[in-house]
Structure 1
Amino acid sequence: MSYSWFSSKLQNLIKSQGISPTVLPIFLVDNTFLYQGTTDNCCVLGYHGAMSSYNGNGKAQVNTYRFASYSVQGVFGANAGDTESYIADIHGLSHEVQEWYDDPFVNKEVDPWLAPTAPQYGCTTDLETGDPVVGYGFKVPMPNEITYHPEDEVHFSWFARESPSRAEQGYFTYLNNFVDVAHGC
């Protein structure tokens, strides 16, 4: 689906339903991905956003929200050496949950960074803790016999170029997928 078309519909839905800024809606879709510009620029698995609320009554209020796609195993290929793809089920949702916690209004910037594991993002100043490690995650087996795949996330020290990292065990990501700080561009 077109990113711009979908985003317009999503924001109109928030407004038309009068969703309060005190509510954090999560829009979860099944195996539906967004493209930007042309279908060659696919696939956006999720995003978080912020917009002015119509319910402000003269006070500036902001609605924040999250969108993610729940995808089945096998839609996206596995990383080299992995037996299955981590881009499955809740991967996109866990990515957006963490990024929303770090930057709910989508307005924080950091020093420019590049990630060798995510060249699709190019050089960016966005504080997006999941973007550098898209496709990397862990398995969480549940009693219902479903194994979920939340995403790895980057810690503050990676963006801040602090070495050693101030995170637990000196890791730059939850799973220590990066052994060094972000590199500029």
Structure 2
Amino acid sequence: MRYNSSFQITLSRQMNKPNITIQPIQASHYADYVALIGKQLGEGYFKQADFEALANNPQAICFEAVDEQNQVVGVITSVTLDRESALALLKIQAQNTPDYVLQSDRIGIFKTIAIDENRKGCGIGSALVRKLLESFKQAGLNSIACVAWQYGETENIRGIMQAFDFTCYEKIANYWLDDPEPFICPACGEPPCRCQANIYFRQI
């Protein structure tokens, strides 16, 4: 499941309108993605090897956003899993799962999004999510899931979830407590992470 198309968008930000290109992830930018995600979701949350695996996974759909100088300003990752594997990954109870998901053979898992701090608020995140949802639809999916990180009152992608009509179906405390690949959480510090995860779904 490879999507090689790219498109250019113009985003308004203050007095200028930077040109941002959304395109599939590039091997030359793996280190940039790791650094960007590490700043926002925790050091070690994503490694270069993870991007290499995604690039070679036919069930993965991942895009980057780059500016006019080909500098990475955003990245989004996802995979498609069979229903059983998806629900196991999400750790959600069957009774809290919407019927349309339980009736889906495959589920798109919106895994990660990170936007450069200096470019937030000018539509890059929305453009990446829109491109991802279009790709899911092209792949014939109708069920999308997302795990949102929450610490205290802070939820990292609440705005995006609301803007794209995702609905939270379950909140799971200590979601990453037994993560097989511990990372340094920006809220908890050294592993294990004890943050809450909010499980969202959306039907296409």
Please say whether Structure 1 and Structure 2 have the same fold, judged by a TM-score greater than 0.5.
Answer: no
Higher strand share: 2
Greater share of helix: 2
Rg bigger for which structure? 1
TM-score normalised to the size of structure 1?
0.30
Higher RCO (Cα < 8 Å, 6 or more apart): 2
